Amino acid sequence: MNRGRFLHWSLLIAAAIGFAAGARAASYPSSPVHIIVPYSAGGSSDVPMRAIAKQMSEQMDQSIVVENKPGAGSMLGTEYAAHAAPNGYTLLLFSNPQAWGSALFKHLTFDPVADFEPISLFSREPGVLVVNPKTMPVHTLSEFISYVKAHPGQINFASSGNGSAQQLFMEMFLGQAGLKMVHVPYRGSGPALLDVLSGQVPVFMPGLAAMVSHIRAHELRALAITGDTRSPLLPNVPTIAESGFPGFSAYVWSGLVAPKGTPRPIITELNKQLTEAVRSPAVQSFMAKQSLEAVTDTPEEFKTFIESEKSRWGNVIKSAGVTVN
């Protein structure tokens, strides 16, 4: 076959593939879409995902089924989604642990970042450094730093588990502040919070939303916010960045991805539907009640964000010696 005929047939094949992908996207979705949530039902990631899925289902006139597949620090459900057919009918809720998963889990059969096509972010919330006021005699971040420095390796902090966002947010702060504390991992945020409220462990850095009521009831004292700006929920609480650590920023975030190889027209359609759902009055109202920030972006922007999170938190994991054992 001469070069001219080869190019001719190559272009025809490429056009046919593009037409087929476009045809699939035009009829998408023609059957129920499944969203895998790699966490337990009723959790801080699961609940907003269900509200968004309901809105997307109404917009797309198609059933969207949310399936919980928790386990192995979100890797169990993530692996299931990674091996699903890349046709737009299996999607995955994607959040912080998947972005840094490859730095924690050394023997995965998949890549928790490279094996997915980003669609969009949909929510984020900052963390908050809180202490039990009965067992930790500090009122400001400066006082906290001085107190911990005076008791190196003697003060405990709780988290929802090894390799969790709660641990890594705290490890990044400790590294920048030059502090030494003892990490006490729990099997989830609930048990950790109970022990912090009872005074068993004096320090905690969870997501802000679930802590507001405890802070307002003076059960916990908020020292600093991990976000870029102060929270309207706690306007008198400074950020870590403005308290002597410029550039410090950490958010608990969630988004939606699809298996690698999902046709681009379907990714584009899902981004459109997700964006419309997040911006709808119903979801905006829901997010506000949950104290979550509703955010969206393009697939390209989400991809860049995920890669930056993978790099940044991978460095924290390495420097702090974080393990999941």
**297 — pLDDT class (breaks 50, 70, 90):** very high
**Per-residue exposure over 100-139, b if at least 16 CB sit within 10 Å of its own CB, e if not:** bbbbbbeebebebbebbbbbbbbbbbbbbbbbbeeebebe
Residue 100, pLDDT above cutoff 60:
yes
Tell me, what amino acid is at 183? Answer: H
> What is the rounded distance in angstroms from the CA atom of residue 25 to the CA atom of residue 52?
21
- Residue 17's SS3 state is helix
- Across the chain, mean pLDDT equals 92
- pLDDT of amino acid 227: 96
Residue 4, pLDDT above cutoff 80:
no
Cα 178–Cα 209–Cα 76 angle in degrees, nearest 5: 80
Residue 114, pLDDT above cutoff 90:
yes
Residue 91, pLDDT above cutoff 70:
yes
Backbone φ and ψ for 138, nearest 5 degrees, come out as -135, 150
User: Which residues lie across from 190 on neighbouring strands?
Assistant: none
- pLDDT of amino acid 16: 46
**12 — pLDDT class (breaks 50, 70, 90):** very low
* pLDDT mean over 4-14: 50
DSSP 126-163: EBEEEE-TTT----SHHHHHHHHHHSTTT-EEEESSTT
For the stretch 171-205, pLDDT in tens is 999 999 999 999 999 988 899 999 999 999 999 99
Q: Which carries the bigger pLDDT value, residue 48 or residue 5? A: 48
- pLDDT of amino acid 14: 47
Backbone φ and ψ for 259, nearest 5 degrees, come out as -55, 145
> What is the rounded distance in angstroms from the CA atom of residue 287 to the CA atom of residue 135?
33
Q: Is 34 exposed, middle or buried (0-12, 13-18, 19+ CB in 10 A)?
A: middle
- pLDDT of amino acid 73: 87
Residue appearing with tokens 């949909």: 122
**86 — pLDDT class (breaks 50, 70, 90):** very high
How many beta carbons lie within 10 A of that of residue 165, not counting itself?
Answer: 25
- pLDDT of amino acid 24: 53
Q: How many CA atoms lie within 13 A of 153 on its CB side?
A: 0
The domains found in the chain, sorted by start residue, are 31-124+251-320 (3.40.190.150), 128-243 (3.40.190.10)
Q: How many CA atoms lie within 13 A of 55 on its CB side?
A: 23
- Residue 251's SS3 state is strand
* pLDDT mean over 301-308: 98
* pLDDT mean over 108-112: 93
- pLDDT of amino acid 45: 86
Considering the chain, what percentage of its residues have pLDDT values greater than 70? Answer: 92
- pLDDT of amino acid 118: 98
- pLDDT of amino acid 25: 61
- pLDDT of amino acid 75: 94
**5 — pLDDT class (breaks 50, 70, 90):** low
For the stretch 236-258, pLDDT in tens is 999 999 999 999 999 999 999 99
- Quick one: angle between helices 299-320 and 165-177, nearest 10? 60
CA distances from 34 to 88, 125, 300, 315 (A): 9, 25, 23, 34
**284 — pLDDT class (breaks 50, 70, 90):** very high
Residues 283/294, Cβ–Cβ less than 8 Å: yes
**Beta-strand relationship, 116-126 and 293-294:** antiparallel
